Every structure is written in C-alpha cells, then in structure tokens.
Chain A
C-alpha cells in the first residue's frame, strides 16, 4: 500500500535522488521524520521509494518462479517415470545450494543491476514451487475424484488444467506469499552486499550497508530500513499463514457441512 502511494506520502519526494550536503545525517525531527542520510536525503522518503523497488523485485521474481516452477511440478507430479524423476532431481540440486549463495553467484556473474537481481532470485526460487506443486499433485492423484474423472475418460490435459490445478491453488498462493517475504529478504541481502541495483536507487539492503560507517551515531539511518525489511517479511509470512487458513478447503467444508 504505502509502496504504491510513495510519491504522495513522501514528505520530501524531490530529494530522494538529490544531494543536500548541508542537511547530512540529521537526527529524526519534525522536518525529517526519520532523519536524513549521508547525502542529506530524507530517510523516510527514501524508505517509501525503496518499498516500491522491493515489492517490484518480489512480485516479478515470485511471478517468474511461479511460471517456471508450477508447470514443472505439474508435469513431474502427473507422470511417473524417469523424466519426472529428472525434473525433481534438478530442482533438488537447486534446493541443496543455499539460496543466498546461489543468488550471489548469479548476481555477481551478471553484474549488479535490477533485472539481474530479479533473474537471480527467480532462478533460485522456482524449485520451491516445483516441490510444492509436485507433492500436492501426487497427493491429489490418489483422491477419488481425480481417479474417477480419469476413469470417465478425461484426458491428462483436462484433468490437470480443470481438476488438479484449481485444487492445488491454495498451497501455491500460500507459498507465493511466504515466497514474497523470502525473496525480499534475499534481495535485501544482495543489496547489502552491493550486488543489488546500483546507487542512487533507494534499495533497503544497500541503505543499511551505507549506514554502517555512521553507526552508532546515526542510528536511525540503519534502523529505519532494517525495521522496514523486518515488517515487510513478517507481514508476508503472516499473510501466508492467514491465507492457509482461509483457503484450506477442509476447514471450509467442516465449517459449512455441520
């Protein structure tokens, strides 16, 4: 929400990318609610614009992971054979390497830029979707309604698109929501390590890295983006938990049935 409305909410929208050497490192006060940074920019305003970038990274990276991971999971889950084993082993390999390390490697190789960060994150996150979709598809295949629809003569396409996918939508959505938090955290880590979008982009991780030199005096400089990351990740995780409860068909069924 606040990310979308950033230009309106920001108290000093103009100086996000400008230099005000005279106002460097001001403590929080009425003019600058969360103080100013080393360039004299308003931390609060940069935070809001940073949120836009963060959310953008999260949405695109998770979206791309979905597009790759879900079809792979469906195919691997539906068919039983060496090909589905192969697909799952590949995703296992990706899962075995720590996500941050892999993302660093990719971002490092391709050079720090916004598209590369997104690419790195998508490349490391899709196996999670593949895994979830694979497991859910396998479970669902044993459900009587899937087997009986197959016995009715339905083609694999019809089964997957019309019966399997809608019934595994909720775990995918939950995973995506938790994935947003995860991706944002990793994006911040990449930014912190200087592998995120280059300055002056107000990316949160980079801001924390910049602020290190001025600690502990300019405490607000590091605290504000740190808190922002914490709250955003927390928010998405809670959203994921909440969605799990809302979307679980078993819970819903028991509420209405008796």
Chain B
C-alpha cells in the first residue's frame, strides 16, 4: 500500500436506512443498516470488512455497488462521485467495479449456457466483434482454470466449485479494477474454502485487482487482508492494519469478537469467553455508543456521547476508553 497514491474507493459519511412499514404501508421507523461510515480503499490492497450478521457490512457493500442507493453521504470511485449518478451512467461504472455474491454459482441464469453468460458482460459494456469476444472469454476461462469444454454446459451440469469459477470469470471479462467479495467463503468446507481463497489470490495478482472482502470469518480475513474494518450495528468501531488489530485489539467489541474465535490446538476460548447478550435490533439503536449495552467498560458518558473514530496506536478506534 502506497500512502501517496490516491484511494481507488473513498466512502464519506455513508448512510443507508431502510424504512420499516406496518401492514398499511405506513412508516413506523427506520432500520439504520449503515449509519455514517467513512473509509478508503487503496489500489491493489484487500480491505476486510468484518462483523456479525446485521452489522451492515453487506448493505455497505451493496450500496457501494449501486444495488441500493445511499440515503446520504458520498461514494467516490477513482475520484468520481458515483452514489448519486443517473441510472444509465451508474450502469457504465459497473465495468470497473464488480460484486461477487456469497454463492457465485447462483448468479448464473439457470437457463443460459455458460458461453452465453460469459459473453453477456462484454455485450453490455464493450463494442467487440464476436471473434474478439471469444478470444477474451477464452483467456479469462483459462485464467480461472476451466477447460473450454465447459462452455457448452448449463450451470446445473457443473459442480459447485466449477460454477463459482464461471461466475468469477463472468465478472473478470470486464477487467474491473475493484471487486467486492460478499461473504465468499461462508458455508464452505475448509478444504474448499482454501482452494477458493487461493483462487482469489491468484486472480488478484493476474488482474491487478483491488478487493473489499466482506466476511464474518475472522480467520479467513486475517489470512487474506492487510487492513480490516470492524463493524458493529451500522458503524465502524475499529479500522487499521490486520496484524496490529489481531495482536492488540483496542475496541472492546473487537476484543470480544477475537476472543470468540476458536484457536485450534490452544486452550478452549469458550472457557474464558465473557461477552453476554446479543446485538440490539438495528431498528432500535442504543443512544451514545452502540456497544455500551454489552460493553464491560461502559460508563455514563457512553450513553450520552457517541464516540467518533479517532487515531489511537496507529489505527482508528471509536471508543471513549481506547
């Protein structure tokens, strides 16, 4: 990571709320899924976005991707504001900024042969002749390690791992600069997970990709990402170098999260695990610091004043006592 280079993606005070409606369609409240998030991603790096379900990490990814429109705040991609573009111009950005779903195999149309699915992005974004498209698709296909023979198959005729490779190839035909990976290993067996992670790494090298890696699995994030952002209830609580945060987490939530991860071969972590309760509903966010209802360090000030992210010990932490 070079500090002098401009960030590829810069998010400033991004907010995405979802209305909660009752049976008559009247709004009764807001789900504050993403509530004031700022971060930057530099070219070539992998930024990890970690947190438990409901913390807003997926909503953040989808808002950046343009699947949701931001309620407030800016998304700058390669120096250009993309959060509030008209639909047609926003669609053109998709060539540079891509999204991989948790189950990439499901992103293939079940009625389309692999070859059609792979040509589609090029038909949308590039004006290439058929022969040029075929050359491009062939190159990508071999990069993800699939034989040409698979082109004539339907998705259901492929194994899960092959479907995943096809779906990645489909995204890479556009030669994007940044790819958002949303829970790409959740639900996978460890041995499959290992091959998937390897593939991501090889592709990052081959195509000079920048990744945003959204995951709840801390062991995976630790292996893949140089920097991580830890989210809790729609905000970032800690952001910095992965090694430093794993070494010495400063936010009490990060500490609990790391303490819950089993360490194979070591002492059972559950013997010492102390965090009680479950995260509050994002519809009903506590005042002040969002973590205070479960925090062992909570004081009166935490209920009154929401801690801002501030520079502590070479990283940014949102806690009054960090």
Contact with B along A150-180 (1 / 0, CB 8 A): 1111110010000100110000000000000
Q: A153, B92: Cβ atoms under 8 Å? A: yes
Q: B124, A145: Cβ atoms under 8 Å? A: no
Q: B106, A144: Cβ atoms under 8 Å? A: yes
Q: A149, B120: Cβ atoms under 8 Å? A: yes
Q: A143, B111: Cβ atoms under 8 Å? A: no
A152/B94 contact (C-beta < 8 A), A144-B103, A166-B111 known: yes
Within 8 Å CB of B107, what residues of A?
Answer: 144-145, 147-149
A158/B101 contact (C-beta < 8 A), A143-B106, A153-B95, A253-B110 known: no
Q: Give A257 to B159 CA distance when docked, in angstroms.
A: 9
Does residue B114 face the partner (Cβ distance < 8 Å to A)? no
Closest to B171 in A: A152
Q: Give A166 to B116 CA distance when docked, in angstroms.
A: 14
Does residue B109 face the partner (Cβ distance < 8 Å to A)? yes
Q: Is the interface of A mostly helix, strand, loop or mixed?
A: helix
Q: A144, B101: Cβ atoms under 8 Å? A: yes
A151/B66 contact (C-beta < 8 A), A144-B101, A253-B156 known: yes
Does residue B65 face the partner (Cβ distance < 8 Å to A)? yes
The smallest C-beta distance from B24 to any residue of chain A, in angstroms, reads: 14
Q: B94, A153: Cβ atoms under 8 Å? A: yes
Contact of B156 among A148, A153, A154, A256 (CB under 8 A): A256
The smallest C-beta distance from B127 to any residue of chain A, in angstroms, reads: 14
Contact with B along A22-65 (1 / 0, CB 8 A): 00000000000000000000000000000000000000000000
The total of chain B residues at the interface (CB under 8 A) is 28
Does residue B291 face the partner (Cβ distance < 8 Å to A)? no
The smallest C-beta distance from A241 to any residue of chain B, in angstroms, reads: 22
A154/B110 contact (C-beta < 8 A), A144-B103, A256-B156 known: no
The smallest C-beta distance from A85 to any residue of chain B, in angstroms, reads: 10
Which of B99, B101, B107 has the largest count of A CB atoms less than 10 A from its CB?
B107
Which of A143, A147, A158, A163 has the largest count of B CB atoms less than 10 A from its CB?
A147
Within 8 Å CB of B98, what residues of A?
Answer: 151-152
A205-258, CB < 8 A from B: 249, 253, 256-257
A151/B108 contact (C-beta < 8 A), A144-B101, A256-B156, A257-B156 known: no
Q: Give A246 to B259 CA distance when docked, in angstroms.
A: 52
B184-202, CB < 8 A from A: none
A151/B67 contact (C-beta < 8 A), A144-B101, A256-B156 known: yes
Q: A153, B125: Cβ atoms under 8 Å? A: yes
A154/B124 contact (C-beta < 8 A), A144-B101, A249-B111 known: yes
Does residue B138 face the partner (Cβ distance < 8 Å to A)? no
Q: A249, B110: Cβ atoms under 8 Å? A: yes
A145/B108 contact (C-beta < 8 A), A151-B66, A152-B120, A256-B157 known: yes
A152/B124 contact (C-beta < 8 A), A144-B106, A167-B111 known: yes
Q: B91, A155: Cβ atoms under 8 Å? A: yes
Contact with A along B123-162 (1 / 0, CB 8 A): 0110000000000000000000000000000001100000
Beyond the given A152-B170, A155-B124, A249-B110, could you list 14 further A-B residue pairs with CB under 8 A, ordered by the A residue number?
A143-B106, A144-B107, A145-B106, A147-B101, A147-B107, A148-B107, A148-B167, A151-B65, A151-B67, A153-B92, A153-B93, A154-B124, A253-B156, A257-B156
15 contacts between A and B (CB under 8 A): A144-B101, A147-B67, A148-B99, A148-B101, A148-B107, A148-B167, A151-B98, A152-B94, A152-B174, A153-B95, A153-B121, A167-B109, A253-B156, A256-B156, A257-B156
